[in-house]
Every structure is written in structure tokens, then in C-alpha cells.
Amino acid sequence: MRLLKPQVSRVLGWLALVAVVVLALFGLWGAPPDAVQSDAQRLMYVHVPSAWIAYLAFGVTALGSALWLWPRTRADVWDRLAGASAELGVIFTALTLALGSLWGRPVWGVWWAWDARLVTTAVLFFLYLGYLALRRIPTSPESRAKRCAIAALIAFVDVPIVHFSVNWWRTLHQQATVFNPELDAKIHGVMAFTLWFGVLTFTLVYLYLLDLRYRLLALDEDREERELRAAIAERVAAERPPTPTPTPADRAPGERAPAVPVVEVAPQ
Amino acid sequence: MNLWRETVLVAGKDLRIEARSRVTLQQVLPFGLIVLLLFAFALDPDRGVLKRVAPGLFWVTVLLAALLAVSRAFSIEADNGARDGLRLSGLDGPALFLGKAAAIAVQLLALEVVLALTVVVLYGIELDTLFPLVLATLAATVGVAATGTLYGVLAAGLRVRETLVPLLLLPVVAPVLLGATRAWEAAIDGIPSDAWPWVALLGVFALLYTGIGMLAFGPLLEEA
């Protein structure tokens, strides 16, 4: 039912929290303001890590789906892992787009530019939004797992194609105009550290949230199953004739007890 | 029976249903035409925008029509246990996939011919360099039909399939729209050399998803 042991998860949670605080301190005060973009550049300390986590999360979803589809490694673990990771991937993709947009406004002067990476990320967002919609459709767990695993792989295969096509589109037609070469200035040591620390922090946050989401999915499935069994038990009880069951004394010698459907309900 | 004969059998069945019901001809085609007309309302034809963006509008219309064609291709098996019949027919998954995708592709190609002629007439563009244009159209159509068939069977039997398929399909075929539009633009501008990379991309897309579809159709049909 759990991805990580409770103790490990707790330690991970605390580590992630501490790392987020340290990252905020470094990002907001520790690192010097950028020469060209001044304080707007500080958004990069969360924007770049979000983008990294989004790709990591979708990679994990694809891996989980592939492992579920492979007959030898088929297990519920992989389906749940794929689902939990895709949810986080969509959240972090949305965060990447939102943060990038906030950054783009002061630096590029626009909320949105038709840059290859932006367009690819937006398509990625919708690809996996569809996957999550598919996951939410109630069917039998086995059937859902199979559909979702295949859908995840179809989407994953599409990512490089989208990336290539959009890159071609934006380079064949016009050179990127918003990317000023000045922006690629040398990066300060503290800035580089903060950026890498951001990636580490977000990875910790991702792992912690992945464990939480995994447990929630498992608990949800468990609850559905128990509700189903309870409903069946209730139905069977309602169908049973109201007359009291005959005592052994009423029965003719040699006759066996009538078969009553037995439904076991797991202890709550 | 070999793959080819089974494919022809399945495609023939779907096309025969279309020949008798004429849903694509009498509903999807007029839908595409009205969309092309509405684009002209939205983008005032006098401003010259329409002519420049004609390839994009054409392909958006084709994608919208493809959504309807896919929906239709799987709704014909929704009733009377027809899908169970398909499952029990003993036909192989790859053949079923190729057959259904081929039927969709044939209908889409017919639609595209009429819609393209409409674009030529209504938007006043000239299609000169036909060779890359035709190849791009063929590859794009196969790609759309393959992905459409794949998502069609994935969503078959679900109550929300009409709303789910567009959400799943459109992001995946985004590169097809991009590639086909650029190839058409290059062909119309008379620069075929610009079209070839896009034709290659569309070809890779079509082959890739035809392969995935042949592998995945059988298992997905079991769940539908």
C-alpha cells in the first residue's frame, strides 16, 4: 500500500520542507540580482526546477506504464505509480508555464511567446491532461490500468515528435527574436548553486508528494473495493427471505443445512 | 486468412456501412464545408489574411472532420453487440486495426479532395506544386487515421467517449497539423524543398502510430 516506509516518508517530508526554506532564502536574498533582468531572474530558481520535475514525472509515468504492460513485471504498483506521477507532472508543467509567463512579462515584454520550448510544454500539458481524464473514468481496475498504460505510452512517444516539429517550425521560418544573446551571460557562482539546489529541492518535494499521492490512490482503491463488498452484502441480506432459518430440529434426518450465500466483509 | 485479406475485409465492412448510411457524405462533409465558410466570416476575405492562412484553416477543418469520422467509425459497432462480434470473429488485432484505420483514411481522403477544391475556389489559392502536396496529404491522413483509430478503440465502450476522444487526439496530432500546414505552405509558395522535411516527419509519424496501433488494438478491443 505504500511506496516508501512511513519513517522514510516522514524524513523525506522534513528534508523537502527545510530545502524549500533554504531555497527561498537563497533565491530571494542569497543570490545576487541579475545584471540584465534584475530581480525577475530569481523566478528561474523555481521555473527551471519545475520544468525538470515535469519531465522527470512524465518519464516515471512512461516507465511505470511500460512495466505494467510487460507481462513479467505486471503489478498494481506500476499503474498507481504512473498515475501518481502523471498528476504531479501536470501540476509541475502548469507551474512551469505559469512561472515562465510571469518571468516573460518583465523580461521579454510579453506573457507568451511562440518559442519552441513554450509550445512543446503547452502541448505536453494537454497530452497528460487527457491522460488524467482517462484515469478518472470509473471502470474495472485491470481495464483502466491497461487503457491508461497504453495511452501513457502513446503520449510519451509523441513528445519527441512534438519537440522536433515545433523546433523546425520556429527555426525554419524565423530566428528566435526574443532570446537576446546578452541573456546568456556568465552565471555567478551563487546563482549556479541556487539553481542546482532548486533542482535538488524540487526533486525531494516530488518524491515526497509522489509517495503521498501513491498512498492516496491505494487507499481510494481499497475504499472502493470495501464499499463494493458492503453493497453486495447489503443486497444479499435484502434478498434473503424474512422467514427464520430452520433449526436443525425441524429438519428431516439426513437433510443438509440450506445453502445461504456467505459474503465476508473485511473488518473496517 | 492473411493480414492483407483480413484488413480488406474489415475496411470493406466499414466502407459498405458508409456507402449505405452515407453519414460521412451527408453529415461530416457539409460540416467541413460550413467550417470553411465560417472561417471566411471570421477572417474578413478582403484583408488577404484568408489566402495566407488557407493551409492552416484547411488542416484544422480536416482534423475537426476527422474527430467526427473517428466517432462514427466506433459508434457503428456500439450497438447490437457488434463489438462482441468483432472480438469473436477470429480476426487478428493488427488486421482489425489496419482495416478500421484504412476505412477512416479513405473517407478522410475523399473529404480532403472536396475540401481542398473548396479552399481553392473560396479562398482563391493556387495549388501548383502537386507532388509534395499530395505526399504530405497522404502521410498526414494515414497519421490521423492511425491515431484516431487507436484512441477510438481506447475510448470505445466508455460513456464519455465523445468528449474524451477530442481531448486525447488533438494534442497527439498537433505535429501532424504543423507538418501538413507547413508542407502545404511550401508547396503553394513554390518551394518544394521546404516541404520535404515535413513530409518526412509526417511519414515517420504515420509509420510509428500505425505500428503502435497494430500492437495495441487487440488488447484494447478486449477491454472495450
Rounded Cα distance between B139 and B204, Å, is 9
Which residue of A69, A161, A172 to mutate against B (max B Cβ within 10 Å)? A161
Best of A114, A135, A158, A171 to disrupt the B interface (most B CBs within 10 Å) is A158
So what's the pLDDT on residue B130?
Answer: 83
* Out of A134, A158, A168, closest to residue B172 by CB: A158
SS (H, E, C) chain A: CCCCCHHHHHHHHHHHHHHHHHHHHHHHHHCCCECCCEHHHHHHHHHHHHHHHHHHHHHHHHHHHHHHHCHHHCCHHHHHHHHHHHHHHHHHHHHHHHHHHHHHHHHCCCCCCCCHHHHHHHHHHHHHHHHHHHHCCCCCHHHHHHHHHHHHHHHHHHHHHHHHHHHHHHHHCCCCCCCCHHHHCCCCHHHHHHHHHHHHHHHHHHHHHHHHHHHHHHHHHHHHHHHHHHHHHHHHHHHCCCCCCCCHHHCCCCCCCCCCCCCCCCCC
Cβ proximity of B174 and A167 under 8 Å: no
Asked if the structure places residue A144 within a domain, the reply is: yes
Of residues B150, B151, B175, nearest to A162 (C-beta)? B175
Model confidence pLDDT, tens digit, residues B11-42: 999 999 999 999 989 999 999 999 999 998 89
pLDDT number for residue A262: 52
Tell me whether residues B174 and A162 touch, CB distance under 8 A: yes
Say whether residue B170 is in contact with chain A using an 8 A CB cutoff: yes
In a domain, A10, yes or no: yes
Contacts of A89 in chain B (CB under 8 A): none
Task: Write out chain A residues lying below 8 Å of B219, CB-based.
Answer: 146, 150
Beta bridge partners of residue A38, listed in sequence order: A34
Count of domains forming chain A: 1
B171 touches chain A (CB under 8 A): yes
The CA distance from A123 to the nearest CA of chain B, in Å, is 6
Residue of A nearest to B159 (CA): A137
Supply the CATH number for residue A144's domain: 1.20.120
CB contact at 8 A, B60 and B177: yes
pTM of the model as a whole: 0.84
Instruction: Indicate yes or no: CB of A169 within 8 angstroms of CB of B216.
Output: no
ipTM here: 0.89
- Spatial separation of the C-alpha atoms in residues B191 and B188, rounded to whole Å: 8
Domain boundaries, chain B: 3-223
* A83 inside domain: yes
User: Which tens digits make up the pLDDT trace of B38-89?
Assistant: 998 898 877 778 888 999 999 999 999 999 999 999 998 888 888 888 888 8
- Can you give the C-alpha Rg of chain B in angstroms? 18
Tell me the average pLDDT of chain B.
Answer: 91
The residue-averaged pLDDT of B143-171 equals 92
Q: How far apart are CA B139 and CA B208, in angstroms?
A: 12
Are B122 and B40 in contact, with CB atoms under 8 Å apart? yes
List the one residue out of A96, A61, A109 whose CA is nearest residue A81: A61
Q: What are the grid coordinates assigned to B209, written together? A: 502510430
CA trace torsion B207, B181, A133, A208 (10° rounding): 80
Interface of A with B (CB under 8 A): 123, 126-127, 129-131, 133-134, 137, 139, 143, 146-147, 150-151, 153-155, 157-158, 161-162, 164-166, 168-169, 172
pLDDT score recorded for residue B87? 87
- Which of B155, B168, B223 faces A146 most closely, judged by CB atoms? B223
pLDDT of the residue at A245:
57
The answer to whether the Cβ–Cβ distance between B182 and A123 falls below 8 Å is: no
Per-residue confidence (pLDDT) for residue A254, from 0 to 100: 53
pLDDT tens for chain A, 268 residues: list them: 788 888 999 999 999 999 999 999 988 888 788 767 777 788 888 898 999 999 999 999 999 999 999 989 898 899 999 999 999 999 999 999 999 888 888 888 888 888 888 888 999 999 999 999 999 988 888 889 999 999 999 999 998 898 888 888 876 544 444 444 445 545 667 888 888 899 999 999 999 999 999 999 999 889 988 999 999 999 999 887 766 655 555 555 555 555 555 555 554 4
**Which pLDDT score, from 0 to 100, does residue A176 have?**
42
The mean pLDDT of B191-204, rounded to a whole number, is 90
Q: First-to-last CA distance in chain A?
A: 16
State the nearest Cα–Cα gap between A154 and chain B, in angstroms.
Answer: 8
Among candidates B167, B172, B204 on the partner chain, residue whose Cβ is nearest the Cβ of A154: B172
Residue A240 lies in a domain: no
Q: Which domain holds residue A152?
A: 6-174+188-227
Interchain contact, A168 vs B212, CB within 8 Å: no
- Could you tell me if B68 lies within 8 Å of chain A, comparing CB atoms? no
Q: Which of B160, B170, B212 is nearest residue A154 as measured by Cβ atoms? A: B212
Whether pLDDT at B113 is above 80:
yes
